[in-house]
């Protein structure tokens, strides 16, 4: 329990934590069709992530012929660079002004924190890493969690305190997480 901000004359039993910014009972349109759209957004993002990797593989393949097969040793860099590229893509996209990846924007979705603020780079990067880790180990559970939660959050959303909503329905609820 904590004191209120009016000089300590009132008691609060909510721990001083503000309520969740997005309520599925009063704002059901924010969550309508989110899981299906997230699936398609993920597939679009996979294509966006794959295009530079495929171009790099083709470049290294052709470089191998020019350098008498020595250039093919660069194939060992494809996996680590792909991981770095994915983390930077998700971090920059979710940390950007739209708070969404290209796939999420195409599907009219955006990621917000539980209190309504936009995402930031570290949140986007950790969101991506946690998604890939949980889907690697708990594939069916990650997707089933979204069917039983009221806000249609997946397992990594629950851990990070994020929510994905329909961006065209959302009204401004909170300022950005950082001010410039």
Q: What is the pLDDT of residues 171-180, one digit of tens each?
A: 555 555 555 5
Q: What is the pTM assigned to this prediction?
A: 0.80
Give residue 179's pLDDT.
Answer: 53
Categorize the per-residue pLDDT at 3 as very low, low, confident or very high, splitting at 50, 70 and 90: very low
pLDDT at 138 over 50: yes
pLDDT at 40 over 50: yes
pLDDT at 1 over 90: no
Mention every residue, 6+ apart, whose C-beta is less than 8 A from residue 179: none
Give residue 66's region: left, alpha or beta (phi > 0; psi -120 to 50). Answer: alpha
Closest CA to 107 of 162, 38, 31: 38
Q: What is the DSSP letter of 131?
A: H
Element (H, E) at 3: strand 2-3
Rounded average pLDDT over 60-82: 95
């Amino acid at each position: 329990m904590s004191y209120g901000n009016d000089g300590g004359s009132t008691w609060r039993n909510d721990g001083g934590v503000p309520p969740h910014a997005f309520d599925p009972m009063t704002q059901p349109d924010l969550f309508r069709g989110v899981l299906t759209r997230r699936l398609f957004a993920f597939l679009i993002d996979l294509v966006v992530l794959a295009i530079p990797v495929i171009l790099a593989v083709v470049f290294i393949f052709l470089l191998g012929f020019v350098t008498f097969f020595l250039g093919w040793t660069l194939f060992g860099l494809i996996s680590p660079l792909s991981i770095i590229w994915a983390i930077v893509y998700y971090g920059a996209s979710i940390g950007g002004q739209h708070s969404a990846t290209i796939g999420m924007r195409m599907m009219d979705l955006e990621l917000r924190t539980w209190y309504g603020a936009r995402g930031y780079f570290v949140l986007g990067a950790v969101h991506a890493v946690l998604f890939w880790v949980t889907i690697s180990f708990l594939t069916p559970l990650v997707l089933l969690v979204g069917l039983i939660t009221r806000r249609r959050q997946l397992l990594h959303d629950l851990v990070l305190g994020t929510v994905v909503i329909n961006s065209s329905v959302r009204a401004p609820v909170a300022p950005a997480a950082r001010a410039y």
